[in-house]
Structure 1
C-alpha cells in the first residue's frame, strides 16, 4: 500500500528530540560510534518536513556495520537495505514519536558528506532553504503517494546546492 508523502510545518521540538535519540543511540553503540548527525529537513530550522527524524551514524569502521545493524534490529528498527549502493545502511523506527530513519555510514562516506554539505548550506542560506521548502511542498502535492518519485524529483536541486557549496 502506498504511503502519503506528508509534509508538516517545522516543529521546534525536532532538535530536542534528536538530542534524546542521539543519547539513546550512543548508549546502544558505545565506542563503535565516531559521530551522530541530525540530517534531513528536520535538521534545518524553519523547514517544513516529513514528520521523521533522519540521523546519520558514522561508525568507526565498515567492519562495525554488522554488529550495529543487529543492535538496531534488536531495538525495533526495521532494516531497509543499502539504499545508495555505497555502504550506507538504512533502518526505520515507526513505533516512536516521531518516526526515525537511521543510516549507518562508514567513515569518509560520500553520501554522508553530501548530506552535511547540503544541510549546512541551507542552514546558512535562507533563500535556498525557502526554495527547497517550496519545491518539497509542490512535489508532495504532485506525487502524494509516490515517495520514490518525490525523492527523485528533489535530486537536481540537491545536486545544485551541493555543487554550489563545494565551489565556495
Structure 2
C-alpha cells in the first residue's frame, strides 16, 4: 500500500524502449516549431528516449534552442498559453523547463539560448550512448536499479545518476 503522503508524488517509472518515440518526437518538434516560429535555431531529441533500445521514463525530452536569453524569456508565456506547465529555471539560469502531461508520451521541453552548456552536454551524452551500446546498457541497468531504490523520489533518482552521466560526458568530450 502506498503511504498517503506519497499518493500525489509521481512514481519513477522506467519502461522498455518504444520504437514509436522517434516518431513522437518528430510530431512534437513540428508542433513546437509551429508554436514558437522561425526564431528557433534547433529542436533536439535528448534524454533516454533519444537513444535507440534504451529503457526510459515514458517521457520525451526536447531541447529547443533559441537565439538568446531574451528570446527564451519571450517564449515562456507562449508555452504557458499552449498548456505547458512552467517548471521554472533548471540547470542554468537561462534554461526553462516545461511539462506537457496530457500527451502520451508526456513531454518535457527545455527552452535555452544558443551556446548553452547544459544543451551541449546533453548532446554529448546522447551521442556517446548511441555510439557505445555497452555503456548504454550499463546506464539502463543503473536506471532500473535507481528507479526501484528511489521509486517516489525523482530528484534523488536524478542525483544518483549524476556521477555516471558526468563521467560519460567527460569521456565523450575527450573523444571529440
Normalised to the residue count of structure 2, the TM-score between the two structures is 0.94
Work out the CA distance in 2 between the residues paired with 1:24 and 1:3.
26
Query: How many correspondences in the alignment?
Result: 168
> What is the CA deviation profile of residues 32-83 of structure 1, one whole-angstrom value per residue up to 9, with x for unaligned ones?
1000000000000001100010000000121111221111111100000101
Q: How does 1:14-163 map to 2 (within 5 A)?
A: 14-163=21-170
Work out the CA distance in 1 between the residues paired with 2:127 and 2:110.
18
Work out the CA distance in 2 between the residues paired with 1:63 and 1:160.
32
Which structure 1 residue ranges, 5 or more long, are not aligned? none
Work out the CA distance in 2 between the residues paired with 1:102 and 1:7.
19
Work out the CA distance in 1 between the residues paired with 2:93 and 2:22.
28
Normalised to the residue count of structure 1, the TM-score between the two structures is 0.98
Question: CA contact under 8 A between 2:45 and 2:61: conserved in structure 1?
Answer: yes
Quote the residue 2:3 is aligned against.
none
Question: What is the root-mean-square deviation of aligned Cα atoms in Å?
Answer: 0.7
Work out the CA distance in 2 between the residues paired with 1:115 and 1:86.
16
Runs of 4+ in 1 over 2 A off after TM superposition: none
Which structure 2 residue ranges, 5 or more long, are not aligned? 1-7
